[in-house]
Structure formats: C-alpha cells, structure tokens
A and B are shown apart, each in its own frame.
Chain A
C-alpha cells in the first residue's frame, strides 16, 4: 500500500517546472574582498508547489530570492555564472524593460518588514494598485474599486473605509496583508515571500500564513517561502532547501528533512532548536560560527563545525546528489547521517 503523501508527492513530481535555477553564482565585490553569497545553487521549482528555503543569516536565502527578480544592484553584486529560467524565459539575459513586466505581474515579492515595504506618505490603496495603473492603464476610479476588492480578499475589515489610510495608521499584521494584496494584484504565477512573518507576533504570523495558504489554494500560485524558522516551513511547505554559506546543503520533501535529515548541518539545526513540546533537555548547539563568505574554506563549507568531518571533506567541492528518492544532500556521508537518530 502506498501512503497518500507518497502519491501526492509523485503527482507533484509530474507537474511541469516553473522556475529553474542552474548553477547560480552571485558575488559581491567590496574593495578587494569578494563575498560569494550564492555558490553554485541549482533548484527546480514545480508549478503550484510551496518550497521553503531555510538557513541562518548570511546563508544566501535572500540573495537567491533577489537574484530571481534581479533586485540586487550591480555593482557591487555580480552574477558570475548560472541561468535562471522562468516559464521558458531566461531571466538573467532579459532586457530591463521586459524584466519590469515580469516583476509584479508574473513574479511578486513579499518582504520581511512590512512597514519598510510601503511608502509612508502615500495612501495604502494607491500603492496596492500602482502596478495595475502603470502597466494596465487602470483608471483612478476603477483602481479604487480594485484596491477595495484586493483588501477585502486579504481580510482587511471594512476596506472601503480604510483604503485611503496611511501605513502608520495600520498595525504590522494589517500592513503585511496590504503588502500581500499588492503582491497578488497582478495575478502572479510565482510569489517570493522573504521572511514574511518574522517581524510579526505569533498570533499574527498564524493569520498571515493561513492567508498565504488560502490564496495559494484558491489560485494555484507557486510559492517560495524564505524563513529562518524551521517550524514555519515544516507546517507550510511541500519541499525544503536548507542553505548554508551560499549553498544548498539538503533538498527534500519537508517531512523527510525534519524526520530523517541527511546532512549534518540540518541535523545540527534540528538539535539546537528548543521544542515547544519539549521538556527542557539540554540543547546541542553547533559549535563555532558560520565561515566568512569572503574566505570560504576549500571543500565543504560546513566542515570546520561538523562532527562527522573526515579529511576527504576538505579536498574538493561536495555537490548536491540524490541520496534517496527525491532527497538530495551535499554530504559525502549522507548515508551515515540518515542512520543517526535525531
């Protein structure tokens, strides 16, 4: 008997891909230092799925998201190699005018700090429909109706009274709803949500995640959710990519990663999180600190902190490889890690 989750996963695997990132390398040049923020990242996202990207600060999660939309200023950032293909189009070689059409319409982004994502001196309703007024020639009156409709869709109470208000008059959770309204206005095929609930209280986070999942179920949009919170990803995503020092260390269906991690870094992360249902057992932190991205060690970047490391880890790059069906790990000892109890 095949488990229903397995059938669902197989069905998802049949879906065509919507976004393909191949061997992406992004560097920042600071004086004579070169910071490599994304290091040979490859990731394929299928239509309609929710993929979580987790990792600590500096692991390259946000850089990856921003590279997709080409939001990183160059200089100081440079795409050294790689391709990003969205619905058959090579995003990295598109002219800026065509890229502008894609931003907002086909790919939308929800940022971490909602208060910074909106202009403080401009009514919320106007900001939400700016894209449609500029790109689709929506008139002022129609835009207002549309703004009310969008605000209603994201659960703002009495939107017709609040559409003309300014961001400072709203709470953080409400402003994040407005930012989401702005993101869905163009009917995007892909939404990039970069830490959308990090600045919010847990009860408001709960509301925003419920909203994102509802919208996704209703429209079939693909969602990439960047988060440092493993539990948020566990509850919302189909697959998860664990990033460290600009690399994807592990990529697998969410439940697999959290139940049977096959990379020592994922294992270390899971062991260092206090559990809400735990009894206060002593945590096992990962020793040391992440490496500087301008002085990456040779071979596996996690090697200096890894308790499984052997000399072979430091000799050459450790590529991501499939170690079980649909489960990828960038560790030469992935099979050994899989046998370790969490």
Chain B
C-alpha cells in the first residue's frame, strides 16, 4: 500500500466563547464550540476525497485546519509526514507550495485591486517557481491551462464573471505546482452551466497533474461526480466514510441515509413529500453525550443516548459510527 499524502490523526479544533462578566461572576465554565471533534482521515496521492455534511458539521473548519489556517487544540495533520502546524517558517513555506486551497466565493477570494496577472505573479515570485524573466510566459501558460485567454491578464476581478474568477483562483493555486488541492465549495456559487465547465476543468487538471484533492461541498450530486471516496461529517465527526459507490448506493449510517433521501432527484415526478429528518443540527457548544446524531435519528435507541458509537468496519474501505450497523 502506498503511503498517504495527507494523514490526519485525532484532530480537534475548538473555538472558545468569551464568558460574559455575569457568567464569570456566576462561576460558569468557559464554553467552546467543538467544530472538529476527533477526526482521522488519510488521503492518498491522486485521490479525491469528498467531504459532505450540513452547515455546522465542521467540514470547512477541517479543510482550513489542513492548511493550518486554524490551530488544532489536539491531534495533528501530517502532510508527507510533516506536521503542518509546527516547524520553522522555511519548512512551512515549502509545505504550502505543495498544498493549496480554492475558496468558495470567487470574488472575495481575489484582491480587487490586483489584476489577474498580478495575482498569479505574486504566487510565482514568492515561491520562485520560474526565473523572473519567464514570469509573463508562465502566467499566459497558466491562464491557458484553466481555459482563460491571455487578454484576461490585465483585467481586475470586477470585470470578470463568477466562473472566470474561479478559474483565476484555480490558476493561482496551480501556479505553485501543488500536489494537493483543498477545494471548499469551489463550485457552489456558480450557475449550473458554468459549474459543469469548472467541474470538467478540475477533472482535467487532476488527470494531467496527478493531483490529490479534498473536495468540500454540500451538494451531494457534485460530490458523487468528482470523488473517489466520500466522508460524511456530522457535528465535527466523520460518521461514515467509504468508496463513492458504497456511500451513495449502500449507505450504512442513518444520517447518510437521511441525507441522501432528502436530495431532490431529477428523474422523479411531482410527489407528496414527507420530510426525512426533523429539526436542526445541534449547537456545537452543546454536543450531546453518546451519539451526536441521537436527537434526529429515526432509529434511536437507549444506548445511543449514553454510549458513543464505535466505528464499525463494514468492508475494507467502508466505516460507519453507529451502534446498529450490521
């Protein structure tokens, strides 16, 4: 078996909440939201892992913690065996050359005062990817790579459409020749016809450069389209993980089953709806003991309210955290 490119062990990210003065005087304990709560995940070279879950499930926090944009309160993220949140500046700079992120909002993730060329130029110079005199040619090559014409180079983000901005974000990420991309809702803000163009582009880049990807998205059909493996998150935990077809065709965790049942499908005719899941995801400040999904689970039992479910191995690559997985 090959070595994983990225290896996450027992990762926990917490956001402390300030106590109010009255709270402190009343002797309340400081609270913290546990956004990522003990995650283990391996990503292998050339592999795409989809990360799905509702808002508040911790998928974005996990993505950012991988890039060490958040400091973990426990556990570690190893990229090619190196811890991403420790080590000296030089080592971390090198690491970031290999691990790049593409953000959700294509406009907000570009500097409005920098042209497309300046945006890419900055990354190329900082990491000294090519000699200075070759930079203009390299920018042109990168723009071609993401399907933009060279005359876009001198435009500002405001003169670009959402799809074009997202391509620039991709060109910037690709400029430093990374081996892995973390894509946080990278196509969520795009219209379907443009989304399809960008998805095809991602598949082409993955193929051409042998990229590994973590693809974070709430849209399950898009995740199914692009991922090799899928991890389902709920309240900071990965509750089920497996190969794409296992998750979409043979889901074992009741949460995954409910999530899939809630997705509207194109093939179906107008139907009488019965909502699959009642209520909302609980607050991360107040995670229930036992199974995190107990408050909404359609098949909850007594044991779920007191004992945290074990991770059950369904098949070699397929695991689900539930007492009642067979």
Contacts and interface: CB of A to CB of B under 8 A. Distances in A.
Given A56-B191, A235-B264, A203 B203 contact: no
A183 interface: no
B262 interface: yes
A202 interface: yes
Contacts of B161: 289
B273 A210 contact: yes
Most buried by A among B191, B221, B268, B269: B191
Contacts of A285: 193-194, 196-197, 200
A213 B280 contact: no
Interface in B265-304: 265-278, 280-281
A57 B191 contact: yes
Contact of B265 (A50, A228, A234, A280): A234
- Interface size class of chain B, counting residues whose CB lies under 8 Å from the partner chain: 35 or more
Nearest to A276: B221
B122 to A, nearest CB: 27
B163 interface: yes
Contacts of A207: 275, 277-278
Interface stretch (B3-11, B37-45, B83-91, B222-230): B222-230
B220 interface: yes
Contacts, number: 143
A254 B263 contact: no
Interface string A183-200: 000000000000000000
Interface in A189-238: 201-207, 209-211, 213-214, 228-232, 234-238
Contacts of A82: none
A206 B275 contact: yes
A268 B193 contact: yes
Contacts of B269: 5, 234-235, 254-255
Most buried by A among B226, B261, B263, B271: B263
A184 to B, nearest CB: 17
A230 B54 contact: no
Contacts of A234: 264-270
A338 B321 CA distance: 48
A230 B199 contact: no
A9 to B, nearest CB: 11
Contacts of A201: 54-55, 218, 281
Given A202-B218, A278-B221, A254 B196 contact: no
A203 B277 contact: yes
B195 interface: yes
A273 interface: yes
Contact of B224 (A50, A230, A280): A280
A269 B268 contact: no
A171 interface: yes
Contact of B264 (A173, A229, A284): A229
Contacts of B266: 230-231, 234, 258, 270, 273, 275
B258 interface: yes
Given A209-B273, A234-B268, A235-B271, A203 B258 contact: yes
Contacts of B70: none
A286 B200 CA distance: 12
B15 interface: no
Contacts of A268: 193
Nearest to B55: A201
A201 B269 CA distance: 22
A44 interface: no
Contact of B163 (A270, A282, A283, A289): A289
B208 interface: no
B192 A269 contact: yes
Nearest to B273: A210
B196 A280 contact: no
A257 B109 CA distance: 37
B21 to A, nearest CB: 21
A214 B224 CA distance: 31
B277 to A, nearest CB: 5
Nearest 4 pairs between A and B by C-beta?
A272-B196, A285-B196, A274-B225, A56-B191
10 contacts: A202-B218, A205-B264, A230-B192, A231-B266, A236-B264, A273-B196, A275-B224, A277-B265, A283-B225, A286-B196
Interface of A: 5, 50, 56-57, 171-174, 201-207, 209-211, 213-214, 228-232, 234-238, 254-255, 258, 268-270, 272-278, 280, 282-286, 289
